[in-house]
Amino acid sequence: MRKVKIYFGDLVHTWEKTSIWTMPLNIGFIAEYAKKHIENELEIRLFKCPTKMIDAIKGDAPDVVALSHYVWNTSLNKLVFQIAKQQNQNTLTVGGGPSFTNLNAIPEVAAPFFKHHKYCDAWVLNQGELGFVGLMKSFINSGLNTPKIKSNPIDGCFTVDGKDSSETTIGKVLNSILNLDEIPSPYLSGLFDEFFDGSITPILESNRSCPYRCTFCAFGIGTQKLARFSEERIYAEIDYITDRCAKGATIIFSDANFSILERDVQIARYLYQSHVKKGTPGHVFVYWNKSNPERVLRTAKEFQGISQVGASMQTFHPDTLTAIKRRNLPIDSVVRMAEELLNFKKDIHLYSDLIVGLPMETWESHLEANKKLMDLGFEVLNFNLHLIPGTEMESKSHRQQYIRKTGWRLHDNAFGIYDDQKVFECQEVVLETTTMTRTELHSFRFLHYLFQFMWGRRWYYDYLMYVKSLGIHPADMMVKMAKEAQYQSGPVGKLYANFNRDHSYEQFDTSEELIEFWSQPENFLRLKTSDYGKLNYHYSYVAILECPEEFTNFILAVTQSVLEKKKDGHFETKLNQCREVLQFCLDKRVKFTRQLEPLRMQTINYANNWVDWKNAKCLGEVKREGTQVEFYLPEKQERLLKYQLNQYKSNNKYLTLRKMSEYTSPEQFFYKARIFSSAKSTQMEAA
């Protein structure tokens, strides 16, 4: 019998833009496992780029098209399946991914999905290796007869039959693979060699599953217990990747809880040793464990600053934690961890996640959570709750219990024209809950922008720390700015109005309305030119590149009104220091040429000693002594910037810069500083 030709796709939208695309690890595992268990019968190709896959299908139609489904590629997959069926009606089209899990793999949920995705023949549930191999064996035994395999259940899968694609046959749920080394490595086999071109980010998995079952997340559904790859294999894959990537490249770990195992401490050490020896990885992105803060701390120390350190919280509200079945790290443990990490290495970057729109959360409790994390020195990443198919949160019962209104927004960077058709990916977001009105939830959108821009990404961090030293909480100051921004004219007023206009495009009543709106030529042009994207990042760079002085003057005016109300005896001194620390924030920013080449910086004189104040962790009074500060780029930082500028090169500089920001520390965008004081003969460096 001839070999069965299978085209696997982990597709991403590549249409006229750049993004953070990762190695197709999911389909790589399934392909390797299939080759191992169906000997000499498979001819396999992997695809990330949809255009390349469409061209391949049209040029040489395969027997099987198997696509991984996520919220960022579902509509794209629908088109590819349609093209595959147009080329060969007998081609078996197979979907997989968290759109269906143990929680929703039932006919009443599957029927409407497959009525819409009528060109999909079968779906592999949960982890795909075992189910896909069983499906392929049935397909081969049928003589590659697609209609024939739909009559009997296949374990780990469900198949779709009927003229309207609404009849489903669901097989028995399979247990997960516990010894993950049974799955050959797509790195070590050379299967991924074609993707080492600089535009694709390597991604690794060292373990699978998640002991936590948060209702908004699909991690771990369908698994029995934590499974792991061997340490020898992980180290071999790290070596394989770092030998083939340019200096400064990022590596992402897909583990749900990095540092959950003791060996993760050694893995972190191995990655840092590679960083020192080879210059790669330049940065490591991980999802940190939600328990065992001591191990998180030891693992973070081994990274020596090449990985941001996170303690994801999502909420502090006890009723919300109960509703979403989540357990956080104890706050006192987080405090100790933060203090020890900052004492260990002052430029380690700490971050945490919060989600607005969760069940039982209120306006006040969400704001208080932001304040609490800011007080700990964390960057706070605020997300609007969106509903992920296959999760408990997305179920009918949870919607009825907690959610009052949802809407639809365009998934970031997930659109384009393929095979002459416009394709859009839609994301369902929560607009109102039983405990937070639509107006309250809406009011956080611009405030979250200020939190991320000014505090989290550090563009006005020194200023906010200074006003905190005056007894004004940074969050309260930004709440005041959010209220005042709506009354502004000029560039700041325009920024506020445009931000809110674009926010309105995140609240369509239906996905059909969204598609109709963005399909209109004038709106689609904004997408084509990358004039629309993640609002927080996009408008951060609008403020930075288009109106830095005006935005800074707006901040100063709001600050003045707040200080005037305090009515203490040092108003002029404090206002002047606010004015100068704001200028210090502007001067610290790395400057770029029009071609986005990073520039070295000159020395600048200040009336106050901001460098020593920063070295003292922004505590105490600022010394009122004249200093001359030299801003400079260390060689390592300059090299990383240039690598990322090339990796995310785009015709739109806003897109390039915001993609550079998404998985790396904000410190990369700021000069280091050293001071020269007449009273000192030695140079001192600032963070």
> What digits encode the pLDDT tens for the residues 29-39?
999 999 999 97
Domain ranges of the chain: 4-170, 386-589, 593-687
Residue 48 has pLDDT above 70, yes or no: yes
Q: pTM for the full model? A: 0.89
pLDDT range class, residue 500, cuts 50, 70, 90: very high
pLDDT range class, residue 686, cuts 50, 70, 90: very low
Query: Which contacts qualify for 270-273: CB closer than 8 Å, 24 or more apart?
Result: 270/235, 270/238, 271/238, 271/303, 271/306, 272/302, 272/303, 272/304, 272/306
Residue 683 has pLDDT above 60, yes or no: no
User: Hey, which of 52-66, 91-105, 342-356, 606-620 has the most confident mean pLDDT?
Assistant: 52-66
pLDDT over 90, % of the chain: 65
Give tens-digit pLDDT for 235-266.
Answer: 999 999 999 998 888 999 999 999 999 999 99
Average pLDDT rounded to a whole number, residues 123-141: 93
Residue 223 has pLDDT above 80, yes or no: no
Average pLDDT rounded to a whole number, residues 613-626: 88
Alpha helix segments (H runs only) across 88-205: 107-116, 128-141
Q: What is the pLDDT of residue 166?
A: 63
The Cα 287–Cα 605 span in angstroms is 42
Residues 6+ positions from 337 with CB-CB distance below 8 Å: 293, 296, 297, 300, 311, 329
Give tens-digit pLDDT for 564-609.
Answer: 988 777 899 999 999 999 999 999 999 988 778 888 888 899 999 9
pLDDT range class, residue 336, cuts 50, 70, 90: confident
Average pLDDT rounded to a whole number, residues 265-278: 96
Q: What is the pLDDT of residue 447?
A: 98
Residue 411 has pLDDT above 90, yes or no: yes
Alpha helix segments (H runs only) across 309-437: 318-323, 331-344, 363-375, 396-402
Residue 678 has pLDDT above 50, yes or no: no
The one-letter amino acid at 470: L
Residue 622 has pLDDT above 60, yes or no: yes
Q: Residue 616 has what DSSP assignment?
A: T
Q: What is the pLDDT of residue 685?
A: 47
Average pLDDT rounded to a whole number, residues 201-229: 85
Q: What is the pLDDT of residue 545?
A: 92
Average pLDDT rounded to a whole number, residues 71-79: 95
pLDDT over 70, % of the chain: 97
Residue 134 near residue 156 (C-beta atoms within 8 A): yes
Two structure tokens written together for 684 = 């001192």
The one-letter amino acid at 427: Q
Residue 273 has pLDDT above 90, yes or no: yes
CATH 3.40.50.280 is the classification of domain 4-170? yes
Residue 488 has pLDDT above 60, yes or no: yes
The Cα 222–Cα 173 span in angstroms is 8
Residue 445 has pLDDT above 80, yes or no: yes
Two structure tokens written together for 296 = 């998180």
Q: What is the pLDDT of residue 536?
A: 94
Residues 6+ positions from 22 with CB-CB distance below 8 Å: 200, 201, 202, 203, 252
Residue 681 has pLDDT above 70, yes or no: no
Residue 610 has pLDDT above 50, yes or no: yes
How far is residue 363 CA from its own chain's centroid?
24
Residue 293 has pLDDT above 90, yes or no: no
Phi, psi of 413 (to 5 degrees): 60, 25
Which of 117-126, 153-162, 337-346, 526-535 has the lowest average pLDDT? 337-346
Residue 164 has pLDDT above 80, yes or no: no
Of the candidates 61, 75, 53, the residue with the CA atom closest to the CA atom of residue 8: 53
Average pLDDT rounded to a whole number, residues 50-70: 97
| Peptide bond preceding 281 in cis form (omega within 30 of 0) | yes
Residue 44 has pLDDT above 80, yes or no: yes
Two structure tokens written together for 176 = 């997960």
The Cα 180–Cα 664 span in angstroms is 29
Residues 6+ positions from 420 with CB-CB distance below 8 Å: none
More confident residue, 438 or 328: 438
Q: What is the pLDDT of residue 684?
A: 43
Give tens-digit pLDDT for 308-331.
Answer: 888 888 999 999 999 998 888 777
Burial (Cβ within 10 Å: 0-12, 13-18, ≥19) of residue 188? middle
For all residues of the chain together, what is the average pLDDT? Answer: 90
Give tens-digit pLDDT for 168-190.
Answer: 888 888 888 999 999 999 999 99
User: Hunting for tokens 């009606």 — which residue is that?
Assistant: 89
Residue 674 near residue 683 (C-beta atoms within 8 A): yes
